[in-house]
């Protein structure tokens, strides 16, 4: 099933992770797909903070440590990497290492904790195989891929991805860098590439239509704008509640969240339609 990787060329802030979370959660709520979100960052709580209250999580860990004398380190990607290394992995076994957001709709594979380079390298070597196995079990696998191309595993994941969502901003230099990337790297000059503007400001002169025209893309670019309630929810473990409360069928055009949700819905449809077109050979 489709592997959709969200990626940015530079280390600059593009709202890559939160754009992916918004799209994945919306898709799980509004569409009949089984989705897995994979976090490839180390010691980063952005995705965890979107779905779980960090304070409660830390308290639970502390209680577990007191009761057992140690923390359970065999969860998330760390535990699954060990399984892959042993050659005992299967599509069904992945569920043992994920955290469920919506049953049979949305799960998250996270827990990338590594304190030294050998641990990081061990996990990175297994990312590609973990993602390929997951794609056999889920309708969509969304990968929050580390930025840049300086780590070998990044290119490996990009090459096996059915669709690469390249995150850009409305800064002119970001748009120009995306154009240079398409010209200089064959991987990014194909139908597998879908550019997306993060933290989109509809009042900027760099509108979705203008940016698309400037960058040589057809129609309007996909975008996910800044939304106060969503970004607050993303820091309080309440993203799933946000998308359940503000479902498309429950709000009207006067709601303060309507524009944001419309953009997320449009970006989601862009991904679904592009994947379908690629599967049909278009």
**DSSP letters for 38-78:** EE--SS--HHHHHHS-HHHHHHHHHHHHHHHSS----SHHH
Domain of residue 246, CATH code: 3.40.50.300
pLDDT digits (tens, 9 = 90+) for 47-93: 999 999 866 544 444 434 444 443 333 456 667 777 776 666 666 77
pLDDT along the chain (282 residues), means of 10: 93 90 96 93 88 64 42 56 69 81 92 70 82 92 93 92 96 92 88 94 93 88 95 95 86 86 95 93 78
pLDDT digits (tens, 9 = 90+) for 103-117: 999 999 986 666 677
- Sequence-ordered list of residues with C-beta below 8 angstroms from that of 256, at least 6 positions apart, any chain: 229
Give the global pTM: 0.88
Query: Domains in the chain: how many in total?
Result: 1
d(CA 162, CA 272): 11
Cα atoms in the Cβ-side hemisphere of radius 13 Å centred on 89: 25
Q: The domain containing residue 23 runs over which residues?
A: 3-279
């Amino acid at each position: 099933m489709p592997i959709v990787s969200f990626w940015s060329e530079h280390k600059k802030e593009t709202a890559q992770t939160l754009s992916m979370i918004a799209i994945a959660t919306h898709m799980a709520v509004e569409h009949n797909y089984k989705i897995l979100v994979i976090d490839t960052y180390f010691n980063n709580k952005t995705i965890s903070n979107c779905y779980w209250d960090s304070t409660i999580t830390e308290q639970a860990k502390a209680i577990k440590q007191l009761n057992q004398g140690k923390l359970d380190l065999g969860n998330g990607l760390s535990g699954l990497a060990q399984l892959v290394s042993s050659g005992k992995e299967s599509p069904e076994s992945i569920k043992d290492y994920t955290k469920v957001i919506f049953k049979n709709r949305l799960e998250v594979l996270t827990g990338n904790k590594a304190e030294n380079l050998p641990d990081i390298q061990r996990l990175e070597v297994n990312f590609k195989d973990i993602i390929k196995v997951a794609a056999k079990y889920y309708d969509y696998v969304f990968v929050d891929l580390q930025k840049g191309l300086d780590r070998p595993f990044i290119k490996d994941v990009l090459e096996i991805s059915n669709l690469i969502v390249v995150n850009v901003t409305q800064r002119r230099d970001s748009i120009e860098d995306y154009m240079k990337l398409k010209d200089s790297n064959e991987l990014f000059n194909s139908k597998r590439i879908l550019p997306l503007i993060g933290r989109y400001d509809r009042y900027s002169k760099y509108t979705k239509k203008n940016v698309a025209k400037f960058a040589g893309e057809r129609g309007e670019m996909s975008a996910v704008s800044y939304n106060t309630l969503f970004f607050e929810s993303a820091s309080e473990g309440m993203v799933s509640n946000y998308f359940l409360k503000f479902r498309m069928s429950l709000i009207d055009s006067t709601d303060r969240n309507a524009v944001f949700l419309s953009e997320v819905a449009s970006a989601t449809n862009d991904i679904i339609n592009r994947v379908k077109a690629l599967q049909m050979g278009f």
